[in-house]
Amino acid sequence: MTKKYKHVLLFLLAAFIIQAQNPVCAFPHFHFKKKVKQQQEEKIPENLPESSPIQSESEILPETDNTSSEDESLTEQGFMPDDENVSYINQLEILGNNMLDVSFIQETITSKEGHIYSRQAITKDLNNLYATGYFTQNLRAVPIKLDDGNVRLRIIVEENQPVTGFTIEGNNSVPTSDIEQILEPLEGKPQNIVELNMAIERIQELYASRGYILSRVTSLTDDPDGIINIQITEGTIGDIKVVGNYKTKDFIVKRNILSSPGEVYNENVMRTDIMRLMGTQAFKDVQRDIVMNEETGLYDVTINLEEQRTGKISLGVGIDSSSGFFGSVGFGENNFRGLGQKINLNVMAGTGILMDDNSVVRRANWQAELSFLEPYFKKEGQSLGFHAFVRSFGSYQVPLAIEKRYGGDITLARVFEKYPALTGSISIGAEDINLSEGDETKITRLFAMHGLSMEQRKKQLEGGFYLRAIPAITFDTRDNPTNPRHGLIARISLEEALSLSGASSYGKMDGVVKKFVPAGKKSSFVLTARAGGTLNGNLPEFAMYTLGGPYSIRGFNLSEVGMGDGYMMGSVEYRTPIPFIDRLTSNSFINNVRLAAFVDGGKVFSTSLTDRLYDRPGYAITAGAGIRIFIPGLGPISLDYGYPLTNTKGSRSNGFFTFGMGDML
């Protein structure tokens, strides 16, 4: 053997000895270990989003491998099952959760103990967990092969940084406590951008529900200690401009606008401003535009006005329950001198021939009225009105008498600042009332038929000169004064009349409540209750309470149910548009026409001498139907047909039409 071959033999012998002493370093075993580890690293599904679940200004830490040494040893004992071999999940473990309950994770995933092991299902589970928003991207599923061929599935999660609290800035219009109620469920849990976005929407909805429609959450950041900072911009008014008013003075328009620069814009306040401007009757339409000023970040509001003709001369004919057929001429100006003042002059003359009423003398009636209103007297919400009148007509309270009145009053009204739905007023005036015989022959025969002395007739004709004071309080929450669908209006008033001519002085009180209840999209119910009574003195017949006519018990003429020292009544009315009219025309006037069905009922107390003369029932219940035509600024013009339901002595056996103007309180 040569020296060269001797060296080769010695080398092979040394290699054999080393191999025998280190059998675990065999190449095939190293290769298997590497293969198992490679499969474990494919734990995150390929379709798991790569973006961070918390989008904030804080630094996102890089993903780290949190598998413990115990995990490595367990992994070395198993392998991913082949697709050809069906394995079941024998055990399911949830690791890594600190703030969230295991039950929440178990309910989110579909993989359960006893289910077939499916790589596709687990991938979907990891995506579902990530979609909850509570976890980082470091979601892993570690399957461990067991001796029986099944799998122990370990779900390892990493929660987002916990929310330890909130700071809220920029909120001046909504209390911090109200906003914290929305955020409170998020505290003590992992940051969740999905839940945070929903909370932001609820905060903005809270603002909008209170009229702050321009308010926005403009910034959301988190601190390293888990505090989330929320910045709110509420939408401040920069400027308010008024355009379209050519006759109306600028200061008249602006005094009706409560919104002002520097305040947070509120749609509810602006809506009230628009209704107030429309209530002046100087404008046909009022709109508002809002534009953000990019330089200042404030919002500029423009009030667009469309003026209407406010002066009018009217000529008319018609029929009225107290005047019969009549003709009228009038002049009205709802924006006198462009100052928003109202002035009206009206003269009316009627035939006095009423339909089927033999208690009213048939003679020509006439009246003249002059009124003036300053809607802004000294301050916002305070008005001053003046009213003067002259009337001559056949009395509908004192039978077969001619009644002449002239007088006037001044009314001061004021809205309570703390309670804008409440208005107080007081009227002070004087009135001279003169009653004379209209048909002496007929009234003498009527008294004789009932065995009454004509001395009592003198008491019926008692009039006089009176000074009056009428304080009143009105509560009004109606959505629309002209054609309301919901809300309530209530009024209570006292009247003290002091006689300066030797006649009896008296005092009385009246109250009324009207409730409007929506029914469907356009219909409504109107529930009315009225009552009144004498406070002091004896009421002369011309001042007594009456029932019957278009503003009380329909189906009867004025006063035909009865007169007395007190009364009470109620009414239920259903109003609805003409069926399908909105499909036939878009005309707003026609679409505001309403059909009505009603039931009225009432009773008078301490009935009068006139009730004895005409056998009036003193109480009645009627039902009927009618039509309402709503005129802006006036209210409904009503034509009703009522039919008595009570079979009382002296009541009508047939129905009766009544005609009314305005919605009387």
Count of other CB atoms within 10 angstroms of residue 47: 9
Radius of gyration of the chain (CA): 43
Closest CA to 628 of 600, 655, 582, 659: 659
Domain ranges for the chain: 1-38, 42-156, 165-233, 237-307, 311-661
Closest CA to 163 of 127, 133, 130: 133
**3-state SS assignment for residue 45:** coil
Residue ranges in the chain modelled with pLDDT below 50: 1-83
Burial track 628-655 (b if 16+ CB lie within 10 A, e otherwise): bebebeebbebbbbbebeeeeeebbeeb
Same fold, 42-156 and 237-307: yes
Amino acid at 536: N
CATH number of 165-233: 3.10.20.310
Whole-structure pTM value: 0.62
Q: Are 594 and 576 in contact (CB under 8 A)?
A: yes
* DSSP structure string for 498-558: EESSSSPPEEEEEEEEEEEEEETTTEEEEEEEEEEEEEEE---GGGSEEE-STTSSTTS-T
The superfamily CATH assigns to domain 237-307 is: membrane protein fhac (3.10.20.310)
Distance CA 652, CA 616 (A): 10
Predicted pLDDT at 91? 86
* DSSP structure string for 423-475: EEEEEEEEEEEEEEES-HHHHHHHHHHTT--THHHHHHT--EEEEEEEEEEEE
Report residue 309 as tokens: 């003709």
Domain 311-661 has CATH 3.40.50.10320: no
CATH number of 42-156: 3.10.20.310
Q: Are 522 and 516 in contact (CB under 8 A)?
A: no
Tens digits of per-residue pLDDT, 279-306? 777 888 899 999 999 888 899 999 999 8
Distance CA 195, CA 131 (A): 11
Q: Are 431 and 466 in contact (CB under 8 A)?
A: yes
Predicted pLDDT at 315? 75
Q: Half-sphere exposure (CA, 13 Å, Cβ side) for 591? A: 9
Predicted pLDDT at 518? 93
Report residue 494 as tokens: 């006292």
> DSSP class of residue 651?
-
Predicted pLDDT at 235? 92
